[in-house]
Amino acid sequence: GAGYDSIDVEAATERGMMVCNTPTYCTDEVADHAIALLMACLRHVPRLDRGLRRGDHTMTIIDHTRRLAGSTLGIIGFGRIGKRVAQRMRGWDLRIIAWDPYVRPEQARAAGAELMSLDEVLSAADFVSIHCPLTAETHHLIGRRELALLKPSAILVNDARGPVVDEAALIDALREGRLWAAGLDVFETEPLPAESPLLSLENVVLTPHAAAYSPESRADVYALICEIGIDVAQGRVPRFVVNPEVLG
């Protein structure tokens, strides 16, 4: 897949082994899923659906939504997927800001976003969507201090990797009203344990690490895996090598 956090890359590098991934296979799906989670939170789609199925036709909960246009979207991690989210959302009349230490300001501007520091993005955004890989650098990137920077009216979306967010701190913020809502496709422990407090919170929309999936993305990932295997078998360097230092 796109992520490689389940592989000990350092150990592979020490043994001269290439680690390859397939970072292009689900860009559209993950970007679309992040937007779907955001809209589900903003418009209370799951809660309204559950209420209607119970025979509750009242819509008082919708009083607690707001207009998307004119808001600010913050994107954490401005790689392929983050850029695709920005591209998708440009037509919604949003201000788009982003944090990524590996992206230059002119690259962000070309993709329709203003590059800022992490603290600036968290403080200014009405909605935050996470799209960075899980590394030692990004583990618990969004912790108690960072969550405290968010507006109480903010929505946090994560369909990247669960441990990028301190889940216990997130649960506390949601319970205490310091964060309005969260849309989550990934968790610190997967599958999500049956006793997780997230399952009892009404201001959370949950999906089971499903963002990357579609028949098209499945075909794409298999094709890329075969391409990498063929390259290696024929003595070529594959397109996507995570640890290029082994090539010497």
Angle among Cα 100, 133, 36 to the nearest 5 degrees reads 90
CA separation for the pair 226, 207 (Å, rounded): 29
Contact (Cβ atoms closer than 8 angstroms) between residue 185 and residue 204: no
Q: Is 190 a catalytic residue?
A: yes
- Written as six digits, the tokens of 110 are 């070309």
Active-site position among 29, 131, 161, 167 = 161
CA separation for the pair 123, 112 (Å, rounded): 19
- Written as six digits, the tokens of 40 are 């589900």
Active-site position among 43, 47, 139, 209 = 209
Q: Is 161 a catalytic residue?
A: yes
Q: Is 44 a catalytic residue?
A: no
Which stretches of the chain are DSSP H helices? 9-14, 27-42, 45-53, 80-89, 105-110, 118-124, 144-149, 167-175, 215-233
The full DSSP string for 99-122 is: E-TTS-HHHHHHTT-EE--HHHHH
Active-site position among 14, 190, 202, 216 = 190
List, by residue number, the catalytic residues.
Answer: 161, 190, 209
